[in-house]
Structure 1
Amino acid sequence: MTGATLYVCTTCKAGEPVPEGAPRPGSRLHAALLAAGAPEGVRIVAVECLSACDNGCTVSLSKPGAWSYVYGRLALDDVPAILEGARRYAATADGIVPWRDRPTVFRKQSIARIPPLEPNP
């Protein structure tokens, strides 16, 4: 099993006005995920933009040779479900967690599913 990466958009505003200098909702989500602790086989990485600005706070899961996913409309209350979904994703060989085994936020708030990259010939 190759390690998975949970990317968290730290620039997401989640449709909220953010005063100058105040942490954005995406940054708060990233901090909450780090505070809760990454599951085994998962690293949590901050990124500046996942280009899903109309979808609130967003995260992405990926690992070499596996399907990747982008999830949106996430909030601080979703931290346990995000980490559980990341744990289940990391435990797969191909990135595909059976539908009924995915947390509800991953079933209902998926923005994109991206096929694995093909090795260069």
Structure 2
Amino acid sequence: MTVTLHVCTTCKMGRPLPEGGTPPGARLLAALEAVGAPRGVRIVPVECLSACDHGCNIALSGPGRWSYVYRGMDPDADVADILAGAAAYAAAPDGLVPWRERPVIFRKQSLARIPPMES
């Protein structure tokens, strides 16, 4: 089953953006796409995750799984950990990855955990 890694492309990391500059969220998306999604994960850009004070923000979701929103991702430093966390999430049938198996950024920078929707 495929899960989705949503990447906010409008995140500015709480800083002004120079005219014509690329938002850090868009840089994060490009960096993730350049490496490529792990098996069972698709990377999808979104325009806003409504956590602007915390950017760069991502979310993980999938059918019948808990969803997570993570804040403060660094487009220059966190790509490998984001993809490792997304792979672990894809491998967990309910989206609940054991605490010690999560990358540190997922342990410390979780903004929200949302229960699965009932069908």
Interval of TM-score (by shorter of Structure 1 and Structure 2): over 0.9
Runs of 4+ off more than 2 Å: none
Match of 1:114 in 2: 114
Query: Percent identity of the aligned residues?
Result: 64
Q: Distance in 2 between matches of 1:20 and 1:64?
A: 39
Match of 2:100 in 1: 100
Secondary structure (helix, strand or coil) at the match of 2:63 reads coil
Q: Distance in 2 between matches of 1:80 and 1:25?
A: 16
Q: State the Cα deviation string for residues 24-66 of structure 1 (Å, max 9, x = none).
A: 0000000000001100000000000000011120000000000
Q: State the Cα deviation string for residues 61-98 of structure 1 (Å, max 9, x = none).
A: 00000000000011020000000000000011100000
- 1:22-41 matches, within 5 Å, as 22-41=21-40
Gap regions ≥5 residues in structure 1: none
Q: Distance in 1 between matches of 2:95 and 2:116?
A: 9
TM-score by length of 1: 0.96
Match of 2:19 in 1: 20
Counterpart of 1:27 in structure 2: which amino acid? A
TM-score by length of 2: 0.97
Larger displacement relative to structure 2 (79-88 or 15-24): 15-24
Gap regions ≥5 residues in structure 2: none
Q: How many residues align?
A: 118
Q: Distance in 2 between matches of 1:74 and 1:6?
A: 13
Q: Distance in 2 between matches of 1:8 and 1:56?
A: 10
Aligned-residue CA RMSD (Å): 0.6
Match of 1:71 in 2: 70
Q: Distance in 2 between matches of 1:54 and 1:32?
A: 22
Q: State the Cα deviation string for residues 100-119 of structure 1 (Å, max 9, x = none).
A: 00000000000000000001
Secondary structure (helix, strand or coil) at the match of 2:64 reads coil
